[in-house]
Amino acid sequence: MMADYAALVQPDRVHSAVFTSEDIYKDELEKIFYRYWVYVAHESEIPRPGDYCTKWIGEKQLIVSRAADGSIGIFFNRCRHRGAAVCMDEYGNANFFRCPYHGWTYNSAGDLVGVPYPSRYGEGFDKSTLGLARVPRVDTSAGFIFASMAPDGPPLAEHLGKAAGFLADFVKASPLGTVSLSAGTSKSAFWGNWKFVGMDGYHTNFTHKTVLDLRQRKAGASYNRGAGNSDKSANESWDLGNGHCRLDLTGRDKVAIGAASNTSIAAGIPDNADGHEYMRLMSEAYGDGAHEVIRRSRDVHIHVWPNLQLIGSQVRVIRPLAAGHTEVMSYPAMLDGVPDSINTERIRSFEWFSGVASFGTPDDTEVFERNQIGLRADYIPWLVLARGLTVAPQEDGSTVGNVTDEVPQRAQMKAWLRSMTSPEVS
């Protein structure tokens, strides 16, 4: 029986079933992940012809491949013979994919180029119709590769809307304007719903109290933990439309060479030879605007609906596994064309807060699992999303609230409801 979705999402509350129902999870895969634009991979993961990686949209495994002509193709990882996955490696470079079952062979453009013992196939057997099935629409924005399994619908640029500018800002921390996900992946999973992984400026001082205490101890009196999120914070939460949302943390202390900070380029540029070389390269690339470019890049804190987050120097990808089970892949984004130590510091910063064994991510995982446990005790089955409810949309359609407001959560439920009730991709 199909749920009455409009009854489950109210202006100030959401029904627990949206996070706990396996039927709704299955329907989300069909109506969100298998229809709309979804982030799949980054161009830097397949830089050379023949490079490939395997990724997932929901429960469907895909091969993202760079063909000989440099174009990107995304194929369903399913042999056209009897359906076996033809590629089991996460990354590689190959001219061909050979199915391990009976040896059918495909080139990096997905064409079926060989079958064993060909004389036993009849006249009507046409290899040209039996290539790997392609995901119908593939497009990129600032090096981020998105796919849509719907053959028709709005182009990627329309789906991204205002979010596209923040993707562009993120990569401009590099003087070449490109980043690479080349420093490895931190992969984790938790027993909770995928929609818990959002932009939430309300939780920081509570969920992350331990790490904030540690930072305070390290930084001493100069550390201002109150500026991060409170009723009086200068920081903001944004609804950018289409489910995309943002935390604007520019109310924090501004970045400057030599500023007291942790060691991340996202939090401050080191006052040493490499820091100055980095600034020279950035000034060469961006002129007088280099400091502003760095500030904007550092402050990217965005969720691209439904499954991509860019947070400072981190790329985070969300994959639903079940109503109460989610996988998260996190990557430190390396800046192309900068001194090595700048990227090393980005990795250190990632390890400090974002990796699976860091001080930050395990805190989030724990509360997401508590959230799932709590929602099952559904005597009164509603979650309240009322904080900042009276914030009015701005002229450009954005809604901007205090950083602790539940503007992002309501933005995502609005997009969720539209997707779940719309007969077509819109």
CB of residue 104 vs ligand FES: minimum separation in angstroms?
A: 4
Helix (H) or strand (E) segment spanning residue 235: none
Question: Which of 360, 296, 298 has its CA nearest to residue 328?
Answer: 360
* Among positions 35, 81, 252, 325, the unique one binding ligand FES when judged by CB under 6 A: 81
Stretch that binds ligand FES, among 78-86, 152-160, 220-228, 415-423 (CB under 6 A): 78-86
Helix runs in 315-360, H state only: 340-353
Nearer to ligand FES, 112 or 334 (CB): 112
β-strands 91-93, 51-57 pairing: antiparallel
Q: Could you tell me if 72 and 46 are in contact, meaning their C-beta atoms sit under 8 angstroms apart?
A: yes
Question: In whole angstroms, how close is the CB of 80 to ligand FES at the nearest point?
Answer: 8
What are the strands of the beta sheet with 51-57, ordered from one edge? 72-76, 60-66, 51-57, 91-93
How many other C-beta atoms lie within 10 A of the C-beta of residue 242?
23
Reading the block at residue 120, the tokens are 């036993």
Residue list 279-318, contact with ligand FES (CB under 6 A)? none
* 321 in contact with ligand FES (CB under 6 A): no
**Strand, coil or helix: what is 127?**
helix
User: How open is the CA angle 333-206-241, to the nearest 5 degrees?
Assistant: 55
Stretch of 81-89, 120-128, 225-233, 265-273 lying at the interface with ligand FES (CB under 6 A)? 81-89
List the one residue out of 239, 238, 242, 236 whose CA is nearest residue 161. Answer: 242
Under the criterion CB under 6 A, does residue 206 sit at the interface with ligand FES? no
Of 56, 104, 144, 350, which one interacts with ligand FES (CB under 6 A)? 104
Position 97 contacts ligand FES (CB under 6 A): no
Q: Does 197 bind ligand FES (CB under 6 A)?
A: no
Distance from C-alpha of 262 to C-alpha of 248, rounded to nearest angstrom: 20
Minimum CB distance to ligand FES smaller for 83 or for 337? 83
Residue located via tokens 């089991």: 88
Options 52-60, 80-88, 220-228, 243-251: segment touching ligand FES (CB under 6 A): 80-88
Using the rule CB under 6 A, is 82 a contact of ligand FES?
yes
CA angle 245, 349, 191 (to 5 degrees): 60
Provide, rounded to whole angstroms, the least separation between the CB of residue 71 and ligand FES: 25
Binding flag, residue 101, ligand FES (CB under 6 A): yes
One of 3, 17, 29, 84 touching ligand FES (CB under 6 A): 84
Q: By CB under 6 A, is residue 79 in contact with ligand FES?
A: yes
Q: Which of 57, 74, 99, 281 binds ligand FES (CB under 6 A)?
A: 99
What x-and-dash track marks residues 12-41 binding ligand FES by CB under 6 A?
------------------------------
d(CA 404, CA 203): 8
Smaller CB separation from ligand FES, 83 or 393: 83
Furthest C-alpha separation in the chain? 81
Contact (CB, 8 A) for 248 and 296: no
Residue closer to ligand FES (CB basis): 79 or 323: 79
Residues that bind ligand FES (CB under 6 A): 79, 81-84, 99, 101-104
